[in-house]
Chains A and B, each alone.
Chain A
């Protein structure tokens, strides 16, 4: 929960016919990347910092998770509503080229939904340990009912990893700790609205609609959603590429940042080789 390492700017786009604003944090310069945050909310981590050296990052916040606008979540009905609002928001950025999308966990699911609903919206799709599928015999751990003390081991292969420590060590100022922790809990509640109960909301039936080149990255030791799901995504998205990262839990961009960054940079530099 350390302070963000990258200077970000804010941009708010009216969506839903003026019903609410989709709030973006932006950073960097270059070809556009839309980054969709995980269930705990948006945090500009070193991975995004590194990407922003050569790219423009546009990171929308799920309504309700933006500081000072917590009730916005009540203006969004369901996942379908959210997908439409995000499409409007991304379109509203007025980018000159279709951006790449990167989504982590909850954001991965949302990226897949967007790319399936609107196949022309993104030039490339990168999913890190996305949720959104559920198959019997392949259980997902409900992070929302996991006791807080068990979260580090749920999210990291090595809960002693510096990134885990940074994520779970509260700041020394008690008032700041209250603000950050309440924000984190509320963000889990807001994003939970679109996935609770943790079942497949129909994504499996929609994944075949994704036509953009897709990279699926998964931590081999993901304890939240097992890496076996990487193949499920890979099989459903035609021509996609699956990369399993060893010694890595649910958040590859944090636990194996260099490896993940390398895979992403390589994928970004490739032309569309698909037929």
Chain B
């Protein structure tokens, strides 16, 4: 079992009622902000990830969001580079895991390939390379990508990045979204032929299919309530594995989970409740819904599937107003005593065959001290009780760097050629 620390850098001091007046991304007024709090927050955010690295976590997971008050991370390669260097100087054997650069958004895919390759070198081969399509507000509104081109841009950018990493010789690229005379990145990644690659999905079978066919890991984010969505999303992934004749290897599956631990269940609720409400109501939950689902971003078949049965989306349309109790009930957050949290996480991991758990332990309005307390207690008490999961089930981790005990596996030339032709 690989257990990583996941963090987003949120503005922590929005007042009550923020979410009734404002969205948390795109046009959030900067005038609401105390810049000193932002400066202090960046330090706390990186310190929290470093504490996790020192506390025995397997990886440090960061994300990309532009013009977002809930995650001021224009480019996750920036913080990944800082973490790569800092962990290397302390000999911390931890994965640097941007989950990561949005390839539906990026107009500079060669730069993405080069940045990741650089982080891979600085970290000495500890990079895990995440590539989400990206959220529509970010790709389309913030970066001007026509919504209907989001998916094809992602597909082409991914092929270009992979080839830029793989090919020893310079090549020319005559694509729809990039036309380049000479692609020859310096450096190529330290890991050869490439670092492990992870996609992020919300349930679209097409994304799952690519993961299976190309030997990519698959991440799912539990914001929408895993108790509602888990049976659908995870089972869909594993049924597809069966159909394709692939093993149900839990190490191919990752999940983000908001989680908090304290001495008792009651204390956990008392300490963390306001911050849980904050992260959901005023953070990602306060993204304007209509800026996440812009026409063109979802195919006709996808639209019809969602209209007939929106259950894949769980409580996504309630996040701005959802109560603490509901968030706990549907599994959007797992919190409590060491025993409670261990039990809930074990259940989640076993039920859906999850081999990579990304715990979000610093979130919302949480002050520095509380975040550190949460991360340290998880590292000390919960990690040792989860790490053994899947150890004796006979699976290898093909989606993790070799330096960190992984046995990376890559698509064959035939699979690459097939994807290129498609």
Contact = CB atoms under 8 A, between A and B. Distances in A.
Interface string B280-301: 0000000011110011111110
Contact of B296 (A179, A181, A186): A186
A186 B295 contact: yes
Interface string B369-387: 0000000000000000000
Nearest to A186: B300
A121 interface: no
Interface string A157-191: 00000000000000000000011011101111110
Interface string A190-202: 1011001100000
Nearest to A77: B176
B148 A192 contact: yes
Contacts of B38: none
A70 B147 contact: no
Interface string B294-323: 111111100110011000000000000000
B140 interface: yes
A144 interface: yes
Contacts of A74: 152
A70 B176 contact: no
Interface string A3-26: 000000000000000000000000
A193 B144 contact: no
Contact of B295 (A70, A77, A178, A192): A192
A189 B291 contact: no
A196 B144 CA distance: 7
B283 to A, nearest CB: 20
Contacts of A192: 146-148, 294-296
B265 interface: no
B149 interface: yes
B92 interface: no
A182 B303 CA distance: 6
Contacts of B298: 185
B307 A182 contact: yes
A247 to B, nearest CB: 28
B240 interface: no
Given A178-B308, A179-B304, A185-B303, A144 B295 contact: yes
Contacts of B288: 145
Contacts of B147: 144, 189, 192, 196
Nearest to A67: B300
Interface residues of A, number: 24
B148 A183 contact: no
B148 A193 contact: yes
B interface secondary structure, majority: helix
Contact of B149 (A70, A181, A185, A193): A193
B141 interface: yes
A146 interface: yes
A65 to B, nearest CB: 10
Contacts of B145: 196
Contacts of A271: none
A146 B290 contact: yes
A61 to B, nearest CB: 14
A146 to B, nearest CB: 7
Contact of B303 (A144, A147, A186, A193): A186
A73 interface: yes
A193 B307 CA distance: 23
Given A147-B289, A185-B295, A190 B148 contact: yes
A94 interface: no
Nearest to B294: A144
Nearest to A174: B308
A80 B67 CA distance: 31
B322 to A, nearest CB: 19
Contacts of A187: 295
Q: Which residue of B144, B145, B146, B152 has the most chain A CB atoms within 10 A of its CB atom?
A: B146
B233 to A, nearest CB: 22
Contacts of A275: none
Given A144-B295, A196-B140, A189 B304 contact: no
Nearest to A73: B148
Interface of A: 70, 73-74, 77, 144-148, 178-179, 181-183, 185-190, 192-193, 196-197
Interface of B: 140-141, 144-149, 152, 176, 288-291, 294-300, 303-304, 307-308
6 contacts: A73-B148, A144-B147, A186-B299, A190-B296, A192-B148, A196-B147
Counting from the closest, the 3 A-B pairs by CB-CB distance are A189-B296, A188-B295, A189-B295
Given A77-B176, A144-B295, A192-B295, 5 more contacts: A70-B299, A145-B288, A181-B303, A183-B300, A189-B297
